[in-house]
Structure 1
Amino acid sequence: MKISVLGAGAWGTALAIAACARHEVVLWARDAASVATMQAERRNARYLPDAPMPESLRLSSDLSAALAHGQGGLIVIATPMAALRSMLAVLPAGARCLWLCKGFEAGTGQLGHEIAREVVPHLATGVLSGPSFAQEVAAGQPTALVSASEHAELAQLGVAAFHSERLRVYSSADPVGVEVGGAVKNVMAIAVGIADGLRLAADLQGRKGPGLNARAALITRGLAEMQRLALALGASPETLLGLAGLGDLVLTATGDLSRNRRVGLLLAEGLDLPAILQRLGHVAEGVYSAPTVLARAQSLGVEMPITAAVVDVLEGRLDTHGAMEALMGRQAKSEW
């Protein structure tokens, strides 16, 4: 199969490396100088410095050529959510496309499938998501993903493109649920990172703070928030119990490689948000999507208290201790 991956961040690079053993893969990056450096070094020094690029992986800064390469096979958009609309707009006629970006579009509050319905309603599109750190995929460590589209043929094409001995890909007909899981888990990971950061700080000071019980509560109630929003948007409830929901939530909320979890840990240390983002050096989608997630939920009448607390912390209305107290002080009610 001919596959074009548009975007040479960590995740796009990792999938391109994983697929090029069996397919003809072109990895496109906007900056010609970066492409020349990757070509010479055969690695992506900025995002995946420890993952060598096989010689079979082609690199390009020519967008037209990359689009033409993938037109008869599969085009994968691996940019941040902010660039999804513009990338969809340049897809050629007849293209089949999956995107990797997770989140709601700032300003419109739309998910990827909603943007695609506006921009390319005539094309088969979908999403590839699931619990995955790019470093592990590039290293060939076992990972499972979901290829989701309303077009069954495209969902199966995603399986054919990336399924291998080390990368298991399931198909799904519910891109809405898959996208909600991928978007909202980043916000929940910030909340869990805050709780874990407060626990670590309390341990160092010899006092009591949130423990592992609090982590379990946040993950479980975070999943409930994800389900409520997904159902309001028309998703299937079981999708949120699968890889793109619970699986991605657990990984992002507890994994040491999670940038969103790291944001929460640093907030609990008392760092301000600009300093945190500068230290990370990479995009933490939960920071940008949290206000949009909350606004979309409020427009649908969906209650999301954990999301609201994270937004209050990110926007400076609450400190991390106040956020935990606000969540634990909520009125008792039925779990469901």
Structure 2
Amino acid sequence: MNAVPRVLIIGYGEMGHAMEHLLAGRCDLQVWTRRPVPGHEPVDLAVAVSRATVILYCIPVTPLADVAQRVLPALLPESISLSIAKGLDGQGRPAARVLHDVYAGAHDFGVLYGPMISEEIRAGRRAFAQLAGSKPAVSDVASQLFADTGLSLQTSPDMTGISWASVLKNVYAMLFGAADELGLGDNVRGYLVVGCMDEMRTLVATMGGKSASAQGLAGLGDLVTTATSEASHHHALGRLLVRKQLDNISGEGVHTLAMLDRYQLVDFSGYPLLQLVDGIIREPVDIGARLLATIDSSTGS
């Protein structure tokens, strides 16, 4: 990437802000969102796409297919697209699969997953991610783009594996929030890390990835961050379930469980902790007793 990269950030939520913070002043940067952004000139999507060498999708995975379809006709042949969207869309697809289906081999793309809390990035703290691309050139471009920004990238050959690891960690993170709200202690948290990772490794492999990918930044690294940070939405959801504050129990992890069930992607009975999260969302009663019973059953106590 010898010329100054022309980057278009699509979406201006928490992560859109974070990417702007990292890249401002380092490239020719534009931001597009469905609604006007204070302090930014209005951007025509097709025009902005037609000049961008890098597209950064900072939107949820649910609208990703529709937005990517709008982007597709204007993409430069040499451009690459990167997505940080976690979760599953309405067809049960992670972001990598969505871009694979929409781009149909015509354009290169990649995904970025790992411990990247937006507030910490914008405060100048370090962040970390795994990057997997449709071709090696994607990793080269992304590595140059984020060099010396404070976002450290590791390349993974397993796009499917890191995608599913990032999807699943949001589901399991809710258990940690529930355990913390119940005051079950650090020992239970330690057990949950091991138990959740056992299930994640098997699930990642079942979905076509490599089980080891669950142990990288996109899986274990982001699970620890999401499951223990008070700034984490999914940790907070676990707390809200215990408090029976149920008016706004929504998020990528909740949607993921619904999609896994709708498309029968997983037999929940084979994964006790996954089944427990699904059960307490459907019926948030006696959460502490059910959590401890699941642990006792798994450990033979």
Scaled by the length of structure 1, what TM-score is found? 0.80
**Where do 1:253-332 residues align within 5 Å?**
253-272=227-246, 274=247, 276-277=248-249, 284-293=251-260, 298-299=265-266, 303-316=270-283, 318-330=285-297, 332=299
Q: Distance in 2 between matches of 1:286 and 1:301?
A: 15
1:66, distance to aligned residue in structure 2 (A): 2.4
Match of 1:232 among 206, 230, 240: 206
| d(CA) in 2 for partners of 1:172, 1:228 | 18
Match for residue 153 of structure 2 among 146, 164, 169: 169
Contact 1:2 1:24 in 2 (8 A): yes
Match of 2:192 among 218, 231, 241: 218
Equivalent residues of 1:184, 1:286 under 8 A apart? yes
Q: Does 1:113 align with 2:93?
A: no
1:38 is paired with a residue whose SS is coil
Specify the alignment match of 2:32 in structure 1. Answer: 28
For 1:67, the equivalent position in structure 2 comes to: 49
Distance 2:153 2:244 in 1: 40
Letter in 1 for 2:186: L
SS across alignment from 2:191: helix
Q: Which moved more, 1:309-318 or 1:226-235?
A: 309-318
8 Å Cα contact 2:181-2:239 kept in structure 1: yes
Partner of 2:81: 97
SS in 2 for 1:110: coil
Offset, 1:234: 2.1
**Which range moved further: 120-129 or 164-173?**
164-173
For 2:275 and 2:262, how far apart are their aligned partners in 1? 9
Distance, in Å, in 2 between the alignment partners of 1:222 and 1:295 is 22
Tell whether 2:3 aligns with 1:3.
Answer: no
Give 1:317 deviation, angstroms.
6.3
For residues 155-194 of structure 1, the aligned pairs below 5 Å read 155-194=139-178
Structure 2 CA distance for partners of 1:271 and 1:104, relative to 1, 3 Å = same
- Contact 1:219-1:253 within 8 A present in 2 as well: no
The answer as to whether partners of 2:22 and 2:150 remain within 8 angstroms in 1 is no
Summarize the Cα distance change of 1:26–1:153 in structure 2 as closer, same or farther, 3 Å threshold.
Answer: same
Percent identical residues:
25
Offset, 1:301: 8.2
Give the deviation of 1:319 after TM superposition. Answer: 3.9
SS at match of 1:330: helix
What is the deviation of 1:331?
A: 5.2
Summarize deviations over 1:238-273 as a string: whole Å, max 9, x none. Answer: 32211111100000000111010011012112222x
Distance 1:286 1:119 in 2: 24
Extract unaligned runs of 5+ from structure 1: 40-58, 200-209, 278-282
Distance in 1 (alpha carbons) for counterparts of 2:142 and 2:80: 10
The amino acid of 1:87's aligned partner reads V
- 1:13 alignment partner in structure 2: 17
| Residues 331/243 of structure 1: CA separation in 2 closer, same or farther (3 Å cut) | closer
1:26, 1:69 within 8 Å by CA — same for their partners in 2?
A: no
| Mapped partners of 1:117, 1:142: distance in 2 | 30
Letter in 2 for 1:254: T
Contact (CA 8 Å) 2:55, 2:81: kept in 1 or not?
yes
The Cα of 1:296 is off from its aligned counterpart by: 6.0
Q: 2:57 aligns with which of 57, 73, 77?
A: 77
How many equivalent residue pairs? 291
CA gap of 1:178–1:331, structure 2 versus 1, over 3 A, is closer
Structure 1 pair 65–326 and aligned structure 2 pair: CA distance change class (3 A): farther
Q: Is the 2:56–2:81 contact (alpha carbons within 8 Å) kept by the matching residues of 1?
A: yes
Amino acid at match of 2:201: Q
Any gaps of 5 or more consecutive residues in structure 2?
A: none
2:261 and 2:188 map into 1 onto residues whose CA distance is 22
Partner of 1:52: none
**How far 1:97 sits from its partner (Å)?**
0.8
Q: In the alignment, is the contact (CA less than 8 A) between 1:150 and 1:174 conserved in 2?
A: no
Cα distance in structure 1, aligned partners of 2:269 and 2:48: 41
8 Å CA contact retained: 2:80, 2:108 = yes
